[in-house]
Amino acid sequence: MRISVVKEIKPQETRVGLTPAGVTDLVQHGHEVFVERGAGDASAYSDADYVAAGARLVDQDTAWANAELLLKVKEPIASEYRFLRPDLTIFAYLHLAANRPLTEALVEAGTFAIGYETVQDDTGLPLLTPMSEIAGRLAAHAAATYLMSQFGGPGLLLGGAPGVAPARVLIIGGGAVGTNAAFLARGMGAEVTVLDTSAKRIRQLDAMFEGRVRVLMSDPHVLEDELRQADVVVGAVLVPGRAAPKVVRREHLGLLRPDALLIDVAIDQGGAFETSRPTTYEDPIVVIDGLRHYCVANMPSAVPHTSTRALTSVTLAYVREMADRGVAAAVAADASLAAGVNVRDGAIVYPGVAEAFPDLP
């Protein structure tokens, strides 16, 4: 199969869809791999690394035109819509439920679109998990940084000091993001509470943290009590394939300390806080209703060395399956991959996206 890897052009995106080691694997399986010049630069993979791995270097137009299967990290942005066509499969993070223009473009072009974020196996969402783990750990870094006064914070050390209370971190959603944020924040000495709505997940977290983190079933009263005490609130909820539930409403903001920090990791699915607006690493904080919101939509792009390798390590098996068998046959044979199909033959096939846009085919 002809497989292309393009340079990410979404602002601040520093990852790339395949490592040179991934190229070697696919070439050894008899496939042709085209890599856009400079695609790996921001992840510290040079063009020479890709050539040595067996890829052919091409320009952007050729990479898209040659591809039967196109590997990306983030969803195509408006300037890339012109490359969409019916005999093309895109494998990338798409997050369509929060992106009507791209959903329309994929439907109109008849492109076969498989979203990393909805591929599902019996462990959950295997292609979202590594990035969530990284984003969760980075949320603890962001909390530590933006509590400091020179970054506009109240001048709190996350872990406190001997004899001085640590900061209180409230994490809403105890999945991959929430657990990793809790591990790192707790590791830095913060007092951490995790809220979730799944009794099963709460039991797992309770056993995992052995009392080092408070784990509570979320209900409206618990949420309000915890918001009043928090120095940092991390939004880490997910309902797969859907826009994030707005757990913290505008009227909740009045319960918070005026110098509290809101970190909305779920912003890529529309945000867990009603007031959130997406930000970037260039200007990560936005003040809304007097409260600082940190809403960087692609947090793992700050650590592209780590993130690119983590991504290829989980996508490669699916890419190989599609390349070896053909996309349609691979999807038919693998229920996990089939769950990733969002748009096919000019129609939305993923239920959460169809519900978000009931007027589209």
Tell me which residues touch ligand NAD (CB under 6 A): 128, 131-132, 135, 172-178, 195-198, 201, 218, 236-239, 244-245, 247, 265-269, 297-300
Would you list the DSSP string of 73-139? SSPPPGGGGGG--TT-EEEE---GGG-HHHHHHHHHHT-EEEEGGG--BTTB-TTTHHHHHHHHHHH
Q: Which of 95, 264, 293, 334 is catalytic?
A: 95
Q: What is the arrangement of strands in the sheet containing 168-172, beginning at the earlier edge strand? A: 214-217, 191-196, 168-172, 232-235, 261-264, 291-294, 285-288
109 or 181, CB closer to ligand NAD? 181
**Structure tokens of 251?**
């009227």
**Residue with smaller CB distance to ligand NAD, 93 or 318:** 93
> Residues 196-214, buried b or exposed e (16+ Cβ, 10 A)?
beeeebbeebbeebeeebb
Residue whose CB is nearest to ligand NAD in the complex, by number: 175
Of 25, 196, 264, 268, which one is the catalytic site residue? 268
Of the candidates 353, 289, 348, 342, the one whose C-alpha atom is nearest the C-alpha of residue 127 is 342
d(CA 3, CA 35): 9
Q: Tokens at residue 214, please?
A: 């408070």
Cβ atoms of 131 and 119 within 8 Å: the answer is no
Helix axes 304-325, 20-28, angle to 10 degrees: 10
Count of H helices and E strands in the chain?
A: 12, 15
Query: Residue 23's beta-bridge partner residues?
Result: none
Closest CB to ligand NAD among 58 and 127?
127
**What is the rounded end-to-end Cα distance, in angstroms, of the chain?**
29
Catalytic residue status for 305: no
As a whole number of angstroms, the distance between CA 195 and CA 197 comes to: 7
31 catalytically annotated: no
Using only C-alpha atoms, the chain has a radius of gyration, in whole angstroms, of 21
CB–CB of 306/19 below 8 Å?
Answer: no
Q: What minimum distance in Å lies between the beta carbon of 75 and ligand NAD? A: 13
C-beta atoms surrounding 248 within 10 Å? 25
Residue 15 CA: distances (Å) to CA of 72, 92, 186, 307: 9, 12, 28, 7
CB of 196 to ligand NAD, least distance (A): 4
**With respect to ligand NAD, which residue has the nearer C-beta, 63 or 140?**
140
Nearer to ligand NAD, 82 or 305 (CB): 305
Cβ distance to ligand NAD smaller for residue 66 or 129: 129
Tell me how far, at minimum, the Cβ of 359 lies from ligand NAD, in Å. Answer: 24
Q: Which is nearer to ligand NAD, 239 or 329 (CB)?
A: 239
* Residues assigned a catalytic role: 95, 268
